[in-house]
């Protein structure tokens, strides 16, 4: 669908240690353990090579939301700077209520290898810590986005689509994990943002609900289209097999049931390439000037007046 010009989102939801990151990004040891992101990149670039009827452009962005602050995981300053010194990604909203992210870079990827290198770079910069529930617990929400543009040669119509691949940090019961200090602070932010996500899902699943609280958190603001707008969205619920986590597993299943009730209406994202349109209009103006010169017998070189343009 993304190749055809529709927006898409796949996100994994579940408690900490239940396999969300493994599902989305995969394991590093075996090729067969690849996650959804590398498999998606492989599929997309394979399809692009097959289709010679269109011109495709692919860009990658990688956003991390840590303690309710956004960071660009592809910022080259990550290695040499502390997190506090990096510019924060901020949300801007235009008059049409479209979301724009300031300080989030987009990197062109012309091959699968280039896209995978961007994924690996971003994963290296992620916030990860060891907790009693997970030896490599991701302490942030991460959104890997593939931006795809396509057009037919000579056509002024451009299709834009984006695919969000989302790895949510896992919910934690602080009493069970027994964490403290920085890990406790992180857990509170994670649980609060997941609570706001649940509130948005509940509001969307209720008919005739006029207000949807997207602005309560950065994550729900960024994913507004994915949750209840112009997007085809899939949720993957990850569950723990341990009996002691039965309550969290039931909670995840209930959340998934609510998500299944939401009906999104995705539309084709097409627009006119402004550069081609300007060139066409300039050509038409010149042709009209030539016709006018034939009628009047005088070549016209001065610009058209405002009245003539109207």
Which residues does the annotation place in the binding site?
Answer: 14-21
Binding site for ATP, residues? Answer: 14-21
Q: Which residue has the tokens 């539309």?
A: 267
The torsion defined by the Cα of 40, 46, 50 and 54, in degrees rounded to 10, comes to: 50
Q: Are 273 and 156 in contact (CB under 8 A)?
A: yes
State the Cα–Cα distance between residues 108 and 125, nearest whole angstrom: 19
The torsion defined by the Cα of 205, 206, 210 and 211, in degrees rounded to 10, comes to: -60
Q: Are 42 and 51 in contact (CB under 8 A)?
A: no
Q: Are 237 and 253 in contact (CB under 8 A)?
A: yes
Q: Give the CA angle between residues 306, 309, 310 to the nearest 5°.
A: 90
Q: Give the CA angle between residues 160, 112, 269 to the nearest 5°.
A: 10
Q: Give the CA angle between residues 257, 261, 265 to the nearest 5°.
A: 140
State the Cα–Cα distance between residues 230 and 221, nearest whole angstrom: 14
State the Cα–Cα distance between residues 305 and 136, nearest whole angstrom: 67
State the Cα–Cα distance between residues 180 and 186, nearest whole angstrom: 10
Q: Are 190 and 171 in contact (CB under 8 A)?
A: yes
Number of CB atoms found within 10 A of residue 88's CB = 13
- 284 phi and psi angles, rounded to 5 deg: -65, -40
State the Cα–Cα distance between residues 4 and 209, nearest whole angstrom: 31
């Amino acid at each position: 669908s993304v190749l055809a010009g529709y927006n898409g989102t796949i996100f994994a939801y579940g408690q900490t240690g239940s396999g969300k990151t493994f599902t989305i990004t995969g394991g590093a040891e075996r090729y067969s353990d690849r996650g959804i992101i590398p498999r998606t990149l492989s599929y997309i670039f394979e399809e692009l090579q097959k289709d010679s009827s269109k011109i495709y452009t692919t860009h990658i962005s990688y956003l991390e939301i840590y303690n309710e602050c956004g960071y660009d995981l592809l910022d080259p300053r990550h290695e040499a700077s502390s997190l506090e010194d990096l510019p924060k990604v901020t949300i801007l909203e235009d008059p049409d209520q479209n979301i724009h992210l300031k300080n989030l870079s987009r990197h062109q990827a012309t091959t699968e290898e280039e896209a995978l290198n961007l994924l690996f770079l971003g994963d290296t910069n992620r916030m990860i810590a060891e907790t009693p529930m997970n030896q490599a617990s991701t302490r942030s929400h991460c959104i890997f986005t593939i931006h795809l543009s396509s057009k037919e040669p000579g056509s002024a119509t451009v299709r834009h689509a984006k695919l969000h691949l989302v790895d949510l940090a896992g919910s934690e019961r602080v009493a069970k994990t027994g964490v403290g200090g920085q890990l406790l602070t992180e857990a509170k932010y994670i649980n609060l943002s997941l609570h706001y996500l649940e509130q948005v899902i509940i509001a969307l699943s209720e008919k005739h609900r006029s207000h949807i609280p997207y602005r309560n958190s950065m994550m729900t603001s960024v994913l507004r289209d994915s949750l209840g707008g112009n997007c085809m969205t899939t949720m993957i619920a990850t569950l723990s097999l341990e009996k002691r986590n039965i309550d969290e597993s039931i909670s995840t299943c209930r959340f998934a049931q609510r998500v299944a009730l939401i009906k999104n209406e995705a539309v084709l994202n097409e627009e006119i390439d402004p550069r081609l349109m300007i060139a066409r209009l300039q050509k038409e103006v010149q042709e009209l000037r030539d016709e006018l010169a034939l009628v009047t017998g005088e070549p016209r070189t001065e610009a058209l007046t405002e009245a003539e343009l109207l």
